[in-house]
Chain A
Amino acid sequence: MKRVPSRFFSLVLLLAPFYSWSSEWQFNGFVGQGYIAADDTQLVVGEGDTSFNITEAAFAVSWKPIEHIRIASALSYRQWGSLAEGDVNFDYLFIEYSHQVAEGMLGIRGGLFKNETGFYSSTRNVPFTRPSIMLPQSIYSDYFRDAQLHIEGVDLFGMHQIWDGAVDWHVSVGKVDVTEDLDRNVMGSAKLGSFDSERYYSTDIEFQNDYLRLGLTYFDAEVSYLPSMEDYYPGDIRLKKWVFSGQFRYMNFEFTAEYMTGDRLINGLAFPPMADELVDSGIGYYLDLRAYLPHEVELFVRFDKHIDDKDDTDGKEYEAVTGLPAYFAYTDDWTFGARWFLNNDWLLAAEYHWVEGASWVTPIVAPDPSTQSQHWSMFALQISYRFQW
């Protein structure tokens, strides 16, 4: 939160030289209010069974003061039950230069921008662009959301037309912008210590035409940890992941699958510094089938699978080593949902998650079998409004 004023100041500095008001501006925004009810878990709802503290809003500005230059920024508010405390933050704030190359374009932007992992990372907070209220956690984990979403650095990008479609790609280098939400979601409390960003590299390429969408992302993100209690040790968490994405549309049906593989490397935290680096080779994937029906109604069913360690798919080894139940090492989530565009500006969405396992349930390093069952469920409802000026 304290970063907002300083970033606002830098925005003003950035804009100050361009005092002519005649150039092009564009404003967009949305507001969403949700309701979540969950059984046999404390994820999102905390100690209660339900939560109305599911509020999202954003206001985005894009401005082209002169040819080739664009400045874009968005302020967002997000409160997501126990996962994200209500806070206003810059979602992105950058300056970009782009130029035509053949029929496409090349560009570079610097500042705070969104990561482009998979199909949905960069717009995961937006009810209108994400496929469901809670994204498939195997790939878009809410607990680690904060350690991947906002990048401060430089992004080189391009867009080209091929095969009746378009390819766009990004190469990004920078640091991750972390908040206290990450401390809470990983360790269980912000009082136990704090995470800080180290470095972030990623490369992403995506192709889209009328019926096909394909994507590939690699990222390497590291956050360091400094404890404030003696029970934990200084260290770091590093993620090196590949994400493969595919979407196919036929008539009114759309099939989407994404697959993530790679390593999670942990030094310290719950393990003393002399212990070896803990390497988990996790796997996550989901399969999503949806039908676009008349009257702007969308129905979907999805199976989402996550395994912490690919050599221990049923968690038996995890149970033997940690003494915790095996179901904290994997998650199977069946989701059934509907989305309905009441008109162009209003969206009503509802979904039910039927889940076995708890590998992505917060807090990640402190699982609690007394509050988190092997089988649990979640119902979510959200109404959202968008505006375009």
Chain B
Amino acid sequence: MRLLATWMFVLYLFCAHSTAAQVIVNDSAIDFPLPASELRLIFSMQKVYWPDGQKIQVLILTPGSEVHKEFCFKPLDMMPYMLQRRWDRLVYSGTGERPIILKNEAEMQAQIARTPGSIGYVADPVLSGGNRVTRSLYETSP
């Protein structure tokens, strides 16, 4: 029985950690389905405008952080260092910029709430801080 409980606990821990990161956007961003391929373009900095002409402001957490890696693997379906390689190419050829790096999720919520056109992610929708969660959108995508 005790063994079972231990296993349940381990399983619980595993589940708790496997919730995918959630994409959140500023309310000014147009509400339309964001398929995973679109998300990859946005976070690769290869799509820089929303359809209404607003500039997309891409925000991420420290690339070494667990949440960032989770975000890359889950909604983005991309290896973190592939994404980093695309940014490096832009940065060191001078032709573009990488996303803005924030220290923690609280900063992410606050920054997204006050920056029109911004997009980012948090570990859990509870942490969206009132920002729009785009969860349902990428889950419907291929």
Contacts and interface: CB of A to CB of B under 8 A. Distances in A.
Interface stretch (A123-131, A360-368, A373-381): A123-131
Nearest to A341: B81
B37 interface: yes
Interface stretch (A35-43, A161-169, A304-312, A323-331): A161-169
A114 B93 CA distance: 6
A74 B92 contact: yes
Contacts of B80: 344
Given A62-B97, A161-B41, A100 B92 contact: no
B111 to A, nearest CB: 13
Interface string A1-21: 000000000000000000000
Given A100-B53, A159-B48, A344-B64, A123 B92 contact: yes
Interface string B100-134: 11000000000000000000000000000000000
A208 interface: yes
B91 interface: yes
Interface string B71-84: 00000001111001
B49 A103 contact: yes
Interface residues of A, number: 44
A221 to B, nearest CB: 18
B95 A157 contact: yes
A92 B94 contact: yes
Among B94, B97, B98, B101, the one with the most A-chain Cβ atoms within 10 Å of its Cβ is B94
B79 A292 contact: yes
B95 to A, nearest CB: 7
A113 B93 CA distance: 8
B28 to A, nearest CB: 15
B43 to A, nearest CB: 12
Nearest to A26: B97
Contacts of A105: 48-49
A128 B88 contact: yes
A215 B107 CA distance: 39
B85 A388 contact: no
A168 B53 CA distance: 19
A210 interface: yes
Contacts of B53: 100
Nearest to A70: B97
Contacts of B55: 67
Nearest to A161: B47
5 contacts: A26-B100, A28-B98, A129-B89, A161-B47, A168-B46
Interface of A: 26, 28, 58, 60, 62, 67, 70, 72-74, 91-92, 94, 100, 103-105, 113-114, 116, 122-123, 125-126, 128-129, 157, 159, 161, 164-166, 168, 208-210, 292, 296, 341, 343-345, 386, 388
Given A62-B91, A165-B37, A344-B81, 13 more contacts: A26-B91, A74-B92, A100-B53, A103-B49, A129-B88, A129-B92, A159-B48, A161-B46, A166-B46, A208-B46, A209-B37, A292-B79, A343-B64
